[in-house]
Structure formats: C-alpha cells, structure tokens
Amino acid sequence: MKKENEKSDNADEVGEAPPVETESDTYRELKAENEALRAEIRLADAREKITRSLTEAGARSPVLLFDSAIGDLQFDDDGGLVNAAAIVKELTRRFPEQFGADIPAGSIDAGAGRTVEPALTAEQLAKMKPAEIAALDWAEVRRVLAAS
C-alpha cells in the first residue's frame, strides 16, 4: 500500500496544477464582453436610424456620411441615440454636395446643345424664291449647288 501512496505523492510533485481562475476574473471578463456587445448593438441601431434619416433627406452616400459623424453620437442611459436630428442637420450643412437631385451629365459631344438646322437640299432651293435664297448662307447654297 505504501507504493500507492508514494505514487500519488509523486504525481502531485511532477504534474502542475492548472491556474485557478477566480470568480471575480470571470465576472469582469463577462461584464466587459457584455458592455462591448451592448455598445455594438447601440452603434448598429444608431447607424440604421441615421442612414435612414439621411436617405430621406436625399443623401447620395448615407453610410459614408454616417461614418464621418460617428464621433458625434450621443446616447442616453438606455442606449438610445439622442442627437440624430442634429447630426443630420450638421451633415447637410457640412456636405451640401451630398444632398439633392442627381443632375445627369451632359453629352460629351462638342456640339451638344446647339440647334441643328435642317440640311439644305437642291429640291428645296428649286422651290424657293430668289429673295429666300438671298437670305440663306451663301456657303451652304454653294455646297448644295456643287453637290448636285
């Protein structure tokens, strides 16, 4: 029997006991994790509320605008956003180019916006009176006569 006792005494000396975690350490870790999750939920709710308000205000990039104002968020004790309207108002003041109707880009054609007069033809010239022909651009009249 002595061999068994010796064996168990040697096991204690050879093996290392795992570190004992105190209850307060576990509690602190869980509390910190809980607070981090609450902050994440609070931020997600604020993002949804602000981006919805920015979209309604006509923002082109509401998520980008929210990211620029993330440091200005103020929450009450229950985690609700208190200054959503003030943030939207400030963003519309700071970034007016992000709000409003999209104006489509004009044509890249160099002649865009000019009115094009109908092309003059030899048949049209034949039907005109001399006074009407005299009022025309002579370079255009010569071009039409040369082509026919």
Report the domain count for the chain: 2
Residues in the chain: 148
Same structural domain, 73 and 130: no
The Cα 57–Cα 94 span in angstroms is: 14
Is 108 domain-assigned? no
The Cα 102–Cα 95 span in angstroms is: 15
Q: How far are the Cα atoms of 52, 98, 103 from residue 60, in angstroms, in the given order?
A: 12, 5, 12
Domain encompassing residue 146: 120-148
Residues 6+ apart with CB under 8 A from 87: 50, 69, 72, 73
Average pLDDT score over the chain: 82
pLDDT in tens, 33-91: 999 999 999 999 999 999 999 999 999 999 999 999 999 999 998 888 999 999 999 99
Quote the pLDDT of residue 11. Answer: 47
This model's pTM is above 0.75:
no
pLDDT in tens, 94-141: 999 998 766 666 667 666 666 656 688 888 888 988 888 888 888 888
Same structural domain, 73 and 134: no
The Cα 41–Cα 47 span in angstroms is: 10
Is 44 domain-assigned? yes
If you ran DSSP here, which 8-state letter would residue 1 be given?
-
DSSP string, 81-123: BS-HHHHHHHHHHH-GGGBSPPPPP----TTTTPPPPPPP-HH
Q: In this structure, what token pair is assigned to residue 115?
A: 């009115």
